[in-house]
Amino acid sequence: MNERVAYLNGEIVPESKATISIRDRGFLLGDAVFDTTRTFGHKIFRLEEHLDRLFRSLKYLRIDPGMTKDDLANLTMQVLEANLPLLGDDDDYWVTQRFTRGSGISQEDPSTFKPTVIIECLPLPLKERARLYRDGLAIVTPSIRRTPPEAMSPRAKMNNYINLVLADLEVKGQNPDAMAITLDINGNLCEGMGSNIVIVKDGAVLTPREQYVLAGISREVTMELAEKEGITVYQKDIDLFDAYTADEVFVTSTSFCVCPVSTVNGTGIGTGQVPGPITHQLQQAYSDLVGIDIVQQYLRWL
């Protein structure tokens, strides 16, 4: 086998054969949900928690998955195990499950659709992101605000990412090396594409309230680790003043785990140390938890 495989609607097929209808509502309307975990040392991480979040997203969008969480977990492991022989010893995968409402025209009764189900693996971009662990991320807040929960809850992980895509495009147009972190409609720090933001101030860790962001599993893990390390954690509104005057800033995400931020809108953070001491402490705790050095997995590519 020299091609990765994916699960599509009851079959495990080569990725090149995993095609969907041009009438699929996930493609036409973004009418779909997904979730993504990753492997560490080729072992999948917190699959149960990711599937719990996925099924909450399915319920929010009123999509019947047509299978149980146990069914989906078993299929996920089959796809991962089939793809592991193509993975380098020091590399790891993103592992994604995706459900669309199915194929049909918008005038049809959505309850009559049969969902499209996809499970796939993609190697993590370790080489492309390696320098970020050495230099830190440059964060820029775009003019585009995050979709408010009054319009569409950010707590469901949906295919409709256009709000975050436009924010990222605006930032990349100014600085191709920067990452967008949106503000909410009240001007508080919110989130980026697949990433949560965390600041460190006076020895405590602060992150935006869950109502306004997708509560990342990596965010949750980091908060758990912080509490075990004796670090106080707050979920609260955080504005740009808080970020500019923070001692440290970092982002959490499935691929990044814990990645330091060096600047916010061009303003240097803290003393300029990358990573800061608490960020470094949490990186080490994360590495101990998952059984590999998450920082060195990236830095070895430099």
- Closest by CA to 35, choosing from 118, 97, 123, 99, is 97
Please give the Cα distance from 79 to 59 (Å, whole number). 24
| Residue ranges, CATH 3.30.470.10, the chain | 5-124
The per-residue pLDDT string of the chain (302 residues; one tens digit each, 9 = 90 and over) reads 799 999 999 999 999 999 999 999 999 999 999 999 999 999 999 999 999 999 999 999 999 999 999 999 999 999 999 999 999 999 999 999 999 999 987 667 777 789 999 999 999 999 999 999 999 999 999 999 999 999 999 999 999 999 999 999 999 999 999 999 999 999 999 999 999 999 999 999 999 999 999 999 999 999 999 999 999 999 999 999 999 999 999 999 999 999 999 999 999 999 999 999 999 999 999 999 999 999 999 999 99
CA distances, 171 to each of 119, 143, 164, 175, 190 (Å): 31, 9, 11, 6, 15
Residue type, 84: L
- Tell me what pLDDT residue 139 has: 98
Please give the Cα distance from 47 to 133 (Å, whole number). 25
Please give the Cα distance from 217 to 223 (Å, whole number). 10
Is-contact 295 283, C-beta < 8 A?
yes
Please list the residues that pair with 35 across neighbouring strands.
97
Q: Record the pTM.
A: 0.94
Please give the Cα distance from 97 to 3 (Å, whole number). 19
| Residue ranges, CATH 3.20.10.10, the chain | 129-299
- Closest by CA to 203, choosing from 238, 241, 240, 232, is 232
- Residue 59: count other Cβ atoms within 10 Å of its Cβ: 13
Q: Is 88 exposed, middle or buried (0-12, 13-18, 19+ CB in 10 A)?
A: exposed
- 199-212 pLDDT, tens digit each: 999 999 999 999 99
- Tell me what pLDDT residue 111 has: 75
Please give the Cα distance from 180 to 47 (Å, whole number). 27
- What is the distance in angstroms between the CA of the first residue and the CA of the last residue of the chain? 30
Q: Which CATH number fits domain 129-299: 3.20.10.10, 3.30.420.40, 1.10.3720.10, 1.20.1440.230?
A: 3.20.10.10
Is the previous residue joined to 149 through a cis bond, with omega within 30 degrees of 0? no
- Tell me what pLDDT residue 110 has: 73
- Tell me what pLDDT residue 105 has: 72
Nearby residues of 202 by Cβ (< 8 Å), 6 or more positions away: 247
User: How does DSSP assign 156-217, residue by residue?
Assistant: S-BS--HHHHHHHHHHHHH-TTEEE--B-TTSBB-EETTEEEEEEETTEEEE--GGGS---H
Specify whether domain 5-124 bears CATH 3.40.50.150. no
Alpha carbons within 13 A on the beta-carbon side of 128 = 6
